[in-house]
A and B are shown apart, each in its own frame.
Chain A
Amino acid sequence: MQVQANTLDLRLYFDLLVRNRWWVLVAALVAGVAAGVVAYTSPKIYEAKATVLVEDDAILQALTKRMAVTPSMSSKMQFVEQRLLTRDHLTQIARRLDLDLKAQHPKELEALLVKMRDQTVVRASGRGQLIEIGFQHNDPTVARDVVAMLTDMLLEENLGSQRVEAHQAYDFISQQLQVYRTRLEEAERKLREFKQQNLVELGVGVAVAAGGGEMGATPPTAFADVKRLEEARTQQAALEIDLQRLRSERATYTKQLAAEPKWISAQQDHDSTAAARSQGDPKIAALQAQIDELSLRYTDRHPAVLALQAQIEQLRAAATTPKAEVGGDGAADDVLADLGEQILNPHYLSLKEKVSQLDAEFAAGEAKQAQLKQSIAALGNAILDVPKKEQELIALSRDYSVNSSIYNDLLKRLEDARVTKEMEVQDRGGHIRVIEPATVPYKPVKPNRVLILLMGIGGGIAAGYAFGFLRHLMDGSIRSADEIQGLVGLTVLGRIPTVVTLGDRRLRQRANLAFSMVTAMAVALFGSVLWLEFRGIGLYPLRTLLGV
């Protein structure tokens, strides 16, 4: 059904064309002739053009290198157009070529400049970076001159602008360099201060972290602290054991001391000190032996040594002095007793000495333990504090590193810019070159006669057909027998097809012949004109024939 409907539609359109073929033909003829008149009476417009090369890798790119913007072809053309079509340039050209002779008032001059701008064409030419600059005018020589002047102006403008650009770039980079230097110094200062403040916590790790410490990795400083903490704890444990030992030793000695008598009788000691007595006074010898023993460990000013020395002195004094003369106080009594019946137990003394020695060691151990405890607490705090500090340090280091990198980059580019500037100064940087200079055009670009003719003919055909179609749409006639029933409610008795008589056939043949002839004439007329135009001959033969 769809196919059938489409076929019907096509048939309708075809029948409409056939039915309105005269309208179509006449409209095409009239429009074609009118188009021909327009095409051959319009003034000829010539376009002169020059091709210039705008290089990418010259200044523009040097300046925008590694930046987000890359100059596209259209932006380049815009650049050229803006540089070129300034009011100043156009006025200069108009003056030099006397185009402004007719422009008496400023308004007319303004109109002339607008027109010139419209007549100028800047477009991409083929591939790559070539740009065409064209100018349209009814005088080919003028067109050529304008383009030549435009290209000259572009070149001059470009050289100047390049220099300015190079200087501007250098200045800009220098300025930026200053800014980044300040920033870098600031970062440096901050880092340094931080390191100084946190030298203890961060230890040697600072140097490593500053050299590019990474987040997440435990810094060496923290390791050192942990190690020290561990050592302190080990020391503490060892100390504890020592203290324990000292405590038990002291208890043992104290016990022995309690059991040992302070004084022993001389007799008791006789056997043991017989040798000493044989060499003089045995007591003195014994005391002297004790002193010798003690002096191995203590100085002469030790109380025990002093006490022994005092005893020896007393004994010597007693040997030379009668007993009755000796002493009057308690201590002298003891000595007298010793000298009489009893003497100080050397073993007792030795034990007592050991106990006091142990006491001293214990006191020293306790003091050390306290110190270790303090140290462990401090180290623990320091270890907890280390990651925070490290993070701070990394941030500061990063700031420093980024600024430093930018600064170095700028330094390099400043150097580039300096070189570029030098090149521009020496005229070596030119990024616009004339590839093809303007010449006098011999063939007009307007009017495009072929196009105008074809458009006229095509438009005529379309208009004729449209007229027929419109008539068909507006036609309120009965189109089918079927609609009569619905329209007036009457029966259709019969449908009689068109009766074509011999006369009708002859008439139709004549009409067809006439149509064919007119069509053939039209085709011949337009065809030959188009052919001549295609061949670039135009109406020259006709003009020659008519002597026009």
Chain B
Amino acid sequence: MSKIEEALEKATRERQGGGHEAGGVPQRSSVREAHTAVVAEVAVVNPDPLHLAENRVVVASGPSLGASDAYRQLRATLMLAADHQRLAFVVTSPLQGDGKSITTLNLGYAIAQELQLDAVVVDTDLRRPVLAKFLGIEGQRGVSDYLNDPSVTLDDVVVRLAGGPLWVSAGTVRLHNTSELLGSRRMEQFCGELRHRFPTAILLFDSPPILPAPDAMTLVQWLDGGIIVVSAGKTSRRALSDAVRQFGANRIAGVVVNRSDRSSYGYGYGYRYYYGGYGYGGEGAPTAETGEKDG
């Protein structure tokens, strides 16, 4: 068992108040059973792998390309940086178009598929919700519906993606007064409920960029920290500095650099992190994967 997984187990125990009871580490399967029962009612969707591939959700769809490996590395580093305490992150960027939604989805897939850890991806970019489109699951209800309609429950806005412990809340309704909504009690309630129902899950909230809208800063109050996504060769240094200053450096777990291969010279012509030799089959389901699956 890797150190990361040990740490995660420890965190799970602490959250459950179990402490260090005799008999050692509780079995993952028993934990899984507990929260799976809680969310048993949610719908299951099966995104089209081709659609995912075209939308760059490479971890879920394609063979083990360099990008997939890079997302897996990102996941590992994030786990270390999260220090087993911070499990809910808002994923944002200084400006629009740096690739935060794709990063969020791929990271979610990487967590769920690799570690068999629960991962929940929530589209909180209420001004421009895109996750549903990327996944090809338009028509689902999302956070907008939950915030606007008190009768809507968590189960109504969360779906499980087939093939792994990955849940997604991805609506398509666009709103304008998003900042108020994201700072509302209802949103706090939403986050609390998610934490409650997915106690061991990594929660990833895709949010609008920092500089044009205050949404990310509003949202982070209910969460444990932020992940900033930048695009090399596109995001300006100044935008990043401003965004970090605005967001608060102490609330940021780290930075993800997209298109890192074009960082210096422009277009990338290859996958620098591509190792080859292992990968996924079709259907977005984990097939031949390493021993991590068994933890």
At the interface, yes or no: B112 with Cβ under 8 Å from chain A?
Answer: no
In Å, the complex CA distance between A15 and B253 comes to 33
Is there contact, CB below 8 Å, between A488 and B227?
A: no
- What A residues does B195 contact at CB under 8 A? none
Q: Which of B195-249 contact A (CB under 8 A)?
A: 227-228, 230, 232-238, 240-241, 244, 249
Query: A498 CA to B233 CA in the complex, in Å?
Result: 11
Given contacts A490-B249, A491-B254, A493-B253, contact A498 B261 (CB under 8 A): yes
Q: Is B259 an interface residue (CB 8 A)?
A: yes
Contacts A478-B257, A484-B257 hold; do A501 and B54 have CB atoms under 8 A apart?
yes
B240–A479 CB distance below 8 A:
no
B174: Cβ under 8 A from any A Cβ: no
Q: How far apart sit A417 and B85, CA to CA, in the bound complex (Å)?
A: 115
Partner of A476, one of B238, B244, B252: B238
Q: Which of B26-34, B37-45, B267-275 contacts A (4 or more CB under 8 A)?
A: B267-275
Q: Mark B49-80, 1 if CB is under 8 A from A, else 0.
A: 00001111010000001110011011001100
B135 to chain A, nearest CB (A): 15
The answer to whether residues A497 and B261 also contact, given A479-B232, A488-B244, A490-B254 and a CB cut-off of 8 A, is: yes
B144 near A: Cβ within 8 Å? no
Contact A490-B232, Cβ < 8 Å, known A479-B263, A497-B66: no
| Residue A480 lies at the interface, judged by CB distance under 8 Å to chain B | yes
Residues of A463-509 whose CB lies within 8 A of B: 475-481, 483-484, 487-503
A337 within 8 A of B: no
A480 to chain B: closest CB distance in Å? 5
Out of B81, B249, B261, which one reaches A493, CB within 8 Å? B81
Query: Contacting A490 at CB < 8 Å: which of B103, B252, B260?
Result: B252
Please measure, in the bound complex, the distance between the C-alpha atom of A503 and the C-alpha atom of B230, giving whole angstroms. 23
Query: Residue B258 at the A interface, CB < 8 A?
Result: yes
Q: Using known A-B contacts A19-B266, A487-B240, determine if residue A496 contacts B255 with beta carbons closer than 8 Å.
A: no
B240 proximity list for chain A (CB < 8 A) = 478, 484, 487-488
B74 touches A494 (CB 8 A): yes
CB-CB under 8 A from A484, the residues of chain B are: 230, 240, 255, 257
Residue of B nearest to A482 (CB): B263
Minimum distance in angstroms from A51 CB to a CB of chain B = 58
- Report whether B249 and A478 are in contact in the complex, using a CB–CB cutoff of 8 Å: no
Does A376 touch B at the CB level, under 8 Å?
Answer: no
User: CA of A484 to CA of B71 in the docked complex: distance in angstroms?
Assistant: 19
Candidates A481, A488, A501; contact of B232 at CB < 8 Å: A481
> A247 in the interface, Cβ–Cβ < 8 Å?
no
Most buried by A among B71, B99, B103, B230: B230
A503 CB contact (under 8 Å) in B54, B74, B236, B264? B54
Q: Digit string of A491-532 for contact with B (CB within 8 Å is 1, else 0)?
A: 111111111111100000000000000000000000000000
Residues from chain B with a CB closer than 8 A to the CB of A121 are none
Residues of A within 8 A of B235 (CB): 477-478
The answer to whether B78 touches A493 (Cβ under 8 A) is yes
Known: A487-B241, A497-B261. A18 touches B267 (CB 8 A): yes
User: In the complex, what residue of chain B is closest to A503 when comparing beta carbons?
Assistant: B54
For A1-38 the 0/1 string (1 means CB < 8 A from B) is 00000000001100110110000000000000000000
Closest to B71 in A: A496
Residues in A whose Cβ lies below 8 Å from that of B55: 501
**Contact A476/B237 with A490-B254, A493-B255 known, Cβ cut-off 8 Å:** yes
A548 to chain B, nearest CB (A): 45
Chain B, interface size: which category? Answer: 35 or more
Interface centre among B56, B102, B232 (most CB of A within 10 A): B232
| Assembly CA distance A491 to B77 (angstroms) | 10
A151 shortest CB reach to chain B, Å: 63
Contact between A489 and B66 (Cβ–Cβ < 8 Å)? no
Q: In the assembled complex, how far is the CB of residue A181 from the closest CB belonging to chain B, in whole angstroms?
A: 89
Known: A501-B54, A502-B53. A496 touches B74 (CB 8 A): yes
Contacts of A475 in B (CB 8 A): 233
Residue of B nearest to A493 (CB): B254
Inside 8 A of A494's CB, which chain B residues have their CB? 70-71, 73-74, 77-78, 256-257
- Chain A residues with Cβ under 8 A from B238's Cβ? 476
Q: Which residue of B lies closest to A485 (CB)?
A: B255
Question: Is B262 interfacial (CB 8 A cutoff)?
Answer: yes
Report the Cα distance A466→B227, complex, angstroms.
37
Contact A498 B236 (CB under 8 A): no
List A411-459 residues whose CB lies under 8 Å from chain B: none
Give bound CA distance, A489 to B264, whole Å.
Answer: 20
Task: State the Cβ distance, B266 to closest chain A Cβ, in Å.
Answer: 4
Q: Do A496 and B233 touch across chains, with their CB atoms under 8 A apart?
A: no
* A500 surroundings in chain B (CB, below 8 A): 268
CA distance A490 to B252 in the complex (A): 8
Measured CA separation A492–B238 after assembly (Å) = 17
Q: Nearest chain A CB to B40's CB is how many angstroms away?
A: 33
User: Chain A residues with Cβ under 8 A from B65's Cβ?
Assistant: 499
Q: Which residues of A contact B263 (CB under 8 A)?
A: 478-481
B56 pairs with A499, CB closer than 8 A: yes
Minimum distance in angstroms from A450 CB to a CB of chain B: 35
Distance, CA A483 to CA B263, complexed state (A): 11
Given contacts A479-B233, A484-B240, whether A496 and B249 have CB atoms under 8 Å apart is no
Complex CA distance for A18 and B265, rounded to whole angstroms:
10
Contacts of B233 in A (CB 8 A): 475, 477-479
Taking a contact as CB atoms under 8 Å apart, the answer to whether B70 and A497 are in contact is yes
B255 contacts A498, CB within 8 Å? no
What's the minimum C-beta distance from B226 to chain A, rounded to whole angstroms? 10
| Contact residues in B for A15 (Cβ distance below 8 Å) | 265-267
CB B87 to nearest CB in A, in angstroms, measures 15
**B66 nearest in chain A by CB position:** A497
List of A residues within 8 angstroms of B66 by Cβ? 497
CB distance from A279 to the nearest CB of B (A): 167
Enumerate chain A residues within 8 angstroms of B244, measured Cβ to Cβ: 488, 490
Residues of A within 8 A of B259 (CB): 496-498
Which residue on chain A has the smallest CB distance to residue B258? A496
> Could you tell me the distance between the alpha carbons of A240 and B116 in the complex, rounded to whole angstroms?
153
Does the CB pair A481–B267 fall under 8 Å? no
| A478 cross-chain contacts in B, Cβ below 8 A | 230, 232-233, 235-237, 240, 257, 263
Q: How far is the CB of A94 from chain B (nearest CB, A)?
A: 62
Docked complex Cα distance between A15 and B262 (Å): 10
Max chain B Cβ within 10 angstroms of own Cβ: one of A475, A488, A489, A500: A488
Contact present for A496 and B241 (CB under 8 Å):
no
**A499 near B255: Cβ-Cβ < 8 Å:** no
Contact B236 A501 (CB under 8 A): no
Instruction: Establish whether residues A493 and B74, one from each chain, have CB atoms under 8 Å apart when the complex forms.
Output: yes
Q: Are A497 and B266 in contact (CB under 8 A)?
A: no
Question: Chain A contacts of B78 at CB under 8 A?
Answer: 493-494
Residues of B within 8 A of A (CB): 53-56, 58, 65-67, 70-71, 73-74, 77-78, 81, 99, 102-103, 106, 227-228, 230, 232-238, 240-241, 244, 249, 252-268, 271-273
Sample 6 A-B pairs with CB under 8 A, ordered by A number. Answer: A15-B265, A483-B237, A493-B81, A494-B74, A496-B258, A501-B53
Q: Interface of A with B (CB < 8 Å)?
A: 11-12, 15-16, 18-19, 475-481, 483-484, 487-503
8 closest Cβ pairs, A-B complex: A494-B74, A15-B265, A493-B254, A495-B260, A19-B266, A491-B254, A481-B257, A497-B261
Question: Other CB < 8 Å A-B pairs besides A478-B230, A495-B70, 18 of them?
Answer: A477-B237, A478-B232, A478-B233, A478-B257, A480-B263, A480-B264, A487-B237, A490-B249, A490-B252, A492-B257, A493-B256, A495-B256, A495-B257, A496-B106, A497-B259, A498-B67, A499-B67, A503-B54
